[in-house]
Amino acid sequence: MTAQINKRVLREHFGIRARPEQVVVALAGNPNVGKSTVFNILTGLRQHTGNWPGKTVDNAQGVFSYRHTSFLLVDLPGTYSLLAHTIEEQIARDFICFGHPDATLVVLDATCLERNLNLALQVLEITPRVVICVNLMDEARKKGIIVDIKTLEKELRVPVVGTAARIGEGIEDLKEALWQVATQSTPGEPAPVRYSPEVEEAVQELSSALEAVANGPLNRRWLALRLLDGNPSILAGINTYFELLSN
């Protein structure tokens, strides 16, 4: 039932047609982290490009199979953040939030992990179904930077895979991790972002006003944070989403 509704939202709101048994994976990342390389190496030539409905932002979808499961990989616009200050950020946020992909693959640049982690943390606040791909490991090695994948996994509490997509390194591990996350019935619990006391207080206070979403598909804490951001685009996004659901 839920899966059917999700597919319908995907179709009507995002123009993405997934077959009923197909697993949908969103691909997110900062600009210039080799996101397209990861996309290409996973999907090969089975790609389809177009625009996001009603937007002039490119949209690419590709298909691949792993362990007899068909994956539909949706390439989101490259963004530094999901706080939705730009059309690109809004598209990426809305897709991860309302499109309910079975997994979200966040590609990070190993040579500047700190800046990239910002996006990863924002994705993890929306959904626990996340695989982190630390790409450009080869370049990092050349620069003398070593990313400790195990530590990163422990800190974030979601699967982390180190890759060098250009030379095909780590791609099988990536598929395995995606399959695990997309097919598991109960997702894990990522480490929460730690906020300063003032923010926590404000979230607590607002949470009571968000009882209505307590058991719904939206993450209450995340919604509280976004309302506190005061970005009007989230309200529009939620309204459209519930209109779709109540159809």
Partner 1 sequence: MGLSYTHSWLDIASDKAEEIRQRYDNRIADLIVNDLYSNAEEIARKAVISSRRSRGWDKKLDDILTSRRFGYPVMMVLLGAVFWLTIVGANYPSDLLALLFSRLQEQLTRFFSVTAVPGWFHGVMVLGLFEGVACVVSVMLPPMAIFFPLFTLLEDLGYLPRVAFNLDHVFKRCGACGKQALTMCMGFGCNAAGVVSCRIIDSPRERIMAMLTNNFVPCNGRFPILIAIGTIFIAGILPYGLQSAVAAGVVTAMVVLGVLITFGVSWLLSHTILRGEASSMVLELPPYRMPQVVPVIYRSIIDRTIFVLRRAIIMAAPAGALTWILANTYIGDFSIIVHVATWLQPLGQMIGMDGFILLAFILGLPANEIVIPILLMMYLSTGQMVDFTSLEELRQILINNGWTWLTAVNMMLFTLLHWPCTTTLLTVYKESGSKKWTAMSFLIPTVTAFLVCLVFTQAVQLLGLV
In the complex, the residues that contact partner 1 under the rule CB under 8 A are: 1-2, 5, 80-81, 83, 85-86, 113-115, 117-118, 120-122, 143-149, 151-152, 155-156, 193-196, 198-199, 202, 205-206, 209-213, 215-217, 223-225, 227-231, 235, 238-239, 242, 245-246
* CB 167, min distance to partner 1, A: 21
* CB 128, min distance to partner 1, A: 17
Our CB check for partner 1 shows the closer of 161 and 224 to be 224
Strands 160-162 and 130-135: parallel
Cβ–Cβ under 8 Å, residues 34 and 72: no
* Cα angle 32, 38, 40; round to 5: 110
* CB 148, min distance to partner 1, A: 5
Our CB check for partner 1 shows the closer of 45 and 211 to be 211
* CB 98, min distance to partner 1, A: 13
Structure tokens at 21: 């048994």
Half-sphere exposure of 82 (CA within 13 A, CB side): 28
Our CB check for partner 1 shows the closer of 183 and 204 to be 204
* CB 43, min distance to partner 1, A: 28
- Of 221, 233, 223, the C-alpha closest to 91 is 233
Strands 160-162 and 58-66: unpaired
* CB 237, min distance to partner 1, A: 11
Our CB check for partner 1 shows the closer of 4 and 185 to be 4
Residue 93 to residue 159: CA distance in whole angstroms: 21
Residue 127 to residue 222: CA distance in whole angstroms: 9
- Of 106, 96, 123, the C-alpha closest to 191 is 123
Our CB check for partner 1 shows the closer of 73 and 238 to be 238
Structure tokens at 132: 């982190």
Our CB check for partner 1 shows the closer of 20 and 230 to be 230
